[in-house]
Structure 1
């Protein structure tokens, strides 16, 4: 299975963090991963790539890294169009400035490797058969997105320099927040969770979608227990606080409009898809509010059923059962 960041989603106030974190990290905080061993391998291709001098060297590089090329660029390694594209990339002065900025931002990647090691240890604690994906970093001049599969993770580092980058990915401002270094590992883990997130393929309801996203975020919270919730759900602090304090109103909108069992994809996308705001609820309601609401339901489910393990949660494909046993009704109290 392979996922790209744009297809999925991807600094919190003390008030919200205290409330949300208290119920969603209980199991993770009790996990001892000190005896779990993992092998995290990061192959840096941006450096040899940007040192290539001509098209013949580029062709040789692509042939040598066929799996990377076919996965990341989704084209054969001998594609002449890709050779021309990379030749322009490598020799463009402005692009080189972005590359130098990338190198300064990420350095030797030791901190990123440590983050992945910690996350992979937690996954392996819950799933002993987990096989660590190979990690490749590269430089693509903002032409490609992060790619995550069960066996391979490809990170175009320049996309995650952050707000001080000379150039930034071509996405709306409300989506750019997640294109920063602290979001890399949480985004990757959330995408990896899909392997373990069992679903009922016959359940096409919005509720099923909410629970799916809720389970994904709960998985990430358990695997990266010390990361702010804002990095998991990719919301600004203000949006998290507003969503938390207005969840009664948000919930009422879903109930009054009979949305939980809606199956129309166009309507469902208004609540789980990328938008600056969900205007149907209000101008202050952030996009993807359904994903956040699903996390609230799943968190409540775990609070009401403390003996349910993370593995058991992820294996439960019955969205209605999780919802009913959560006893969630838009409450802020836990």
Structure 2
């Protein structure tokens, strides 16, 4: 009987992998083709007499309230010049990132046939890590000076838990997350559960749009942080339930469990320092995964369903 059970499990896994492989093959056939426009390089190297032509080609990159003399001074500024040099060192070409973006766009086109390819443009932002990706219907702006590597000297004054994701591997993850926010509809978030499910939707969106990235990369954890979350899933869930936090509207809860932080604030000395931040997001991710596994629901339906409907129908059980 044990052998039969094992063979059945292997067959299910095989069929599941086969189905996923066929899906990915179909998505690859969409074959979106983009060319990332290196505005950062164009601006760094433009001759003064050619500046007006660059402004014509990229009018949205030049605020009208500033004269040409302002942009020329910017270009010659020593700090700006150093920034350009460091970006050029980190990104002598953009081919590997471009391929990841194309794969993301293939997946977006598959799940959202109405999706139209935008222009993808790289720029610098004086390390404005709060606005790494700017998205409109027609343009994607990537501030690539915020992806120079977590140990880069420019990030010396930035908290480690933020700097850890200022690296090239996270560009497509941040871009996928920006599209998730564009496609998700959810009523104003009032409870901790609302916040958890919202970010669970974002992370499940990443599961489908960037399956070529690891789970830890999709949530912005190290492998060790993800392992900690998985190992302690049962404890985290018990903590939320026993303290009746899920439906609480306490405004302090997002800072404790949802927002970026060096660790999650359980207010328990023996566990806080070991935990990664954003464990509320992680738990929301697992709830949404359970909901999609146990219900015949499309991605588009998921993205507009209420947090309560998702939770109540998820049949979620934490790892033990």
Indicate the TM-score class for this superposition, using the shorter chain for normalisation: 0.7 to 0.9
Equivalences for residues 209-224 of structure 1 within 5 A: 209-224=195-210
1:207 aligned residue (193, 197, 204): 193
- Which of residues 67, 71, 85 is equivalent to 2:60? 67
Shift of 1:172: 1.0
Structure number with greater Rg is: 2
Alignment-derived partner of residue 5 in structure 2: none
Give the equivalent residue in structure 1 for 2:287.
297
- Worse overlay, 258-267 or 45-54: 45-54
**In structure 2, what is the Cα distance between the partners aligned to 1:264 and 1:27?**
43
SS in 2 for 1:154: strand
Mapped to 1, the partners of 2:60 and 2:287 lie a distance apart of 40
Q: Tell me by how many angstroms 1:230 deviates.
A: 1.4
Q: How far 1:64 sits from its partner (Å)?
A: 4.8
Shift of 1:51: 2.2
Aligned counterpart, 1:175: 162
Could you tell which deviates more after superposition, 255-264 or 211-220?
A: 255-264
- Cα deviation for residue 37 of structure 1 reads 4.0
**CA shift in 2, pair 1:83/1:308, >3 Å:** farther
The residue number in structure 2 matching 1:268 is 254
Equivalent residue number for residue 147 of structure 2: 160
When residues 140 and 269 of structure 1 are mapped into structure 2, their CA distance, relative to the original with a 3 A threshold, is: closer
Contact 1:162 1:179 in 2 (8 A): yes
Give the Cα separation in 1 of the matches to 2:256 and 2:52. Answer: 44
Taking only aligned residues, the RMSD between alpha carbons, in angstroms, comes to 2.8
CA deviations over 1:3-59 (Å, ceiling 9, x no partner)? xxxxxxxxxxxxxxxxxxx9x9997544221331424242211122112455x8657
SS of alignment partner, residue 33 of structure 1: helix
Shift of 1:67: 1.9
Match of 2:7 in 1: none
Aligned pairs for 1:121-270 within 5 A:
121-143=106-128, 145-146=131-132, 147-168=134-155, 170-201=157-188, 204-270=190-256
Asked if 1:90 is matched to 2:75, the reply is yes
| Structure 2 residues not aligned, in runs of 5+ | 1-13
Return structure 1 stretches of 4+ with deviation > 4 angstroms: 24-30, 56-64, 86-89
More relative contact order, 1 or 2 (CA 8 Å, 6+ apart): 1
Q: Is the 8 A contact 1:186 1:231 kept in 2?
A: yes
Tell me, yes or no, if structure 1 residue 319 matches structure 2 residue 304: no
Instruction: Give structure 1 stretches of 5+ with no counterpart.
Output: 1-21, 70-75
Match for residue 298 of structure 2 among 309, 315, 320: 309
- Tell me by how many angstroms 1:297 deviates: 0.8
When normalised by structure 1's length, the TM-score is 0.79
Distance (whole Å) between structure 2 residues aligned to residue 261 and residue 59 of structure 1: 56
TM-score, normalised relative to structure 2: 0.83
Counterpart check, 1:49 vs 2:49: no
Counterpart secondary structure, 1:207: helix
* Bigger proportion of residues as helix: 2
User: Structure 1, residues 207-230: CA drift from partner, whole Å, max 9, x if none?
Assistant: 111111111111111111121111
Residue in 2 aligned with 1:13? Answer: none
Provide, for residues 156-175 of structure 1, a one-character-per-residue CA deviation record: whole Å limited to 9, x for no partner: 21211103534228531111
Deviation by residue 1:101-158 (Cα, 9 ceiling, x = unmatched): 3213222211111111111111111111111222111133324732223332111212
Q: In the aligned structure 2, how far is the partner of 1:329 from the partner of 1:224?
A: 25
